[in-house]
């Protein structure tokens, strides 16, 4: 079966500041990465800080061109010039999304904006859709005209999630969604996301270093280390019997295996 989203042989190097600037020094952020989001499944992308997770996401979303390799969404090539169906069908919660909401805009305006840009929403009542999503993420629809500053960090995270979901995506990409919130808020957000996944059948591509969260939300895992895939497979198997040092290290850093579902 064709993967929903697939990367083959991605390479990307960035210039690094050098002691002798006339010498061009680059470092590979991605060094030949393959990844597949299998149909009907959710995927966790894990790896220590600097492993290349966010870089890989930018390539997967067609926001940046790889030096080499290719990305396909439902079998069709994705490039920054021609993202194809990906723009319509993929909702994105960027890293630290809560604080990336425009502080001057009401939640209503932030939620309506994607509907105004995307095809197929012209005949839909944008305000009604905004209120519907407020309720879906557990926020009081009566607060829709407040600005982001009037919400807590956890609530802003919910607003970012509502915005990513507003155009009814088939895939939800989330980069480190729970790193800036306290453990109780994180637990509530994970429960919310899990119930959304169960109800809507949306596929999640989750970037995280929290293996417990990955285990609760995802079926498969890709372990990234130094810009390469150290290990990939069903999350139960990788967590039970890590075959790579990178996966074992991540599990060791947690101190114990994450609680089973």
Of residues 94 and 187, the one with the C-beta less far from Mg ion: 94
Residue 252 CB burial class (10 angstroms; 0-12, 13-18, ≥19): exposed
Binding mask 59-98 for ligand ADP (x = CB under 6 A): ----------------------------------------
Phi first, then psi: what are they for 187, rounded to 5°?
-60, -40
Q: Shortest gap between Cβ of 95 and Mg ion (angstroms)?
A: 6
Q: Are strands 68-73 and 76-77 parallel, antiparallel or unpaired?
A: antiparallel
Q: Classify 210 in phi/psi space as left (phi over 0), alpha (psi -120 to 50) or beta.
A: beta
For residue 222, the cross-strand partners are 45, 232
What radius of gyration, in Å, describes the C-alpha atoms of the chain? Answer: 19
Of residues 71 and 107, the one with the C-beta less far from ligand ADP: 71
Does 169 bind ligand ADP (CB under 6 A)? Our answer is: no
Of residues 54 and 88, the one with the C-beta less far from ligand ADP: 54
**DSSP state letters, 187-222:** HHHHHHHHHHHHHH--EEEEE-S-HHHHHHH-SEEE
Dihedral sign of CA atoms 100, 64, 205, 91 in order = positive
Q: Shortest gap between Cβ of 54 and ligand ADP (angstroms)?
A: 3
Q: Shortest gap between Cβ of 116 and ligand ADP (angstroms)?
A: 29
Of residues 10 and 204, the one with the C-beta less far from ligand ADP: 10
Q: Shortest gap between Cβ of 47 and ligand ADP (angstroms)?
A: 5
29 binds, among ligand ADP, Mg ion, none (CB under 5 to 8 A by kind): ligand ADP
Of residues 94 and 105, the one with the C-beta less far from ligand ADP: 94
Q: Shortest gap between Cβ of 65 and ligand ADP (angstroms)?
A: 12
**For residues 4-63, which are near ligand ADP according to CB under 6 A?**
14, 29, 47, 49-55
Q: Shortest gap between Cβ of 176 and Mg ion (angstroms)?
A: 6
Of residues 93 and 115, the one with the C-beta less far from Mg ion: 93
**Rounded (5°) CA angle 227-77-229:** 20
Lookup: tokens for 93? 């919660």
Q: Which residues are at the interface with ligand ADP (CB under 6 A)?
A: 14, 29, 47, 49-55
């Amino acid at each position: 079966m064709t993967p929903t989203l697939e990367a083959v042989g991605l390479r990307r190097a960035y210039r690094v500041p050098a002691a002798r600037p006339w010498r061009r020094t680059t470092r590979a952020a991605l060094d030949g990465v393959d990844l597949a989001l299998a149909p009907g499944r959710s995927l966790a992308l894990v790896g220590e800080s600097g492993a290349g997770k966010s870089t890989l996401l930018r390539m997967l979303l067609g926001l940046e061109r790889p030096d080499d390799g290719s990305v396909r969404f439902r079998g069709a090539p994705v490039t920054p010039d021609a993202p194809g169906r990906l723009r319509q069908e993929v909702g994105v919660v960027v890293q630290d999304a809560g604080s990336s909401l425009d502080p001057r805009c009401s939640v209503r305006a932030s939620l309506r904006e994607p509907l105004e840009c995307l095809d197929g929403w012209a005949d839909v009542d944008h305000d009604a859709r905004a209120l519907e999503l407020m309720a879906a993420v557990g926020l009081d629809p009566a607060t829709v005209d407040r600005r982001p500053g009037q919400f807590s960090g956890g609530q802003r995270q919910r607003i970012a999630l509502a915005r990513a979901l507003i155009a009814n995506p088939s895939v939800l990409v989330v980069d480190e969604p729970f790193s800036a919130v306290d453990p109780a808020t994180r637990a509530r957000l994970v429960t919310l996301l899990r119930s959304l996944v169960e109800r809507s059948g949306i596929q999640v591509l989750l970037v995280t270093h929290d293996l417990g969260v990955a285990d609760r939300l995802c079926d498969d895992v890709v372990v990234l280390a130094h810009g390469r895939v150290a290990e990939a497979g069903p999350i139960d198997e990788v967590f039970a019997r890590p075959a790579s040092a990178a996966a074992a290290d991540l599990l060791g850093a947690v101190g114990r295996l994450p609680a089973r579902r």
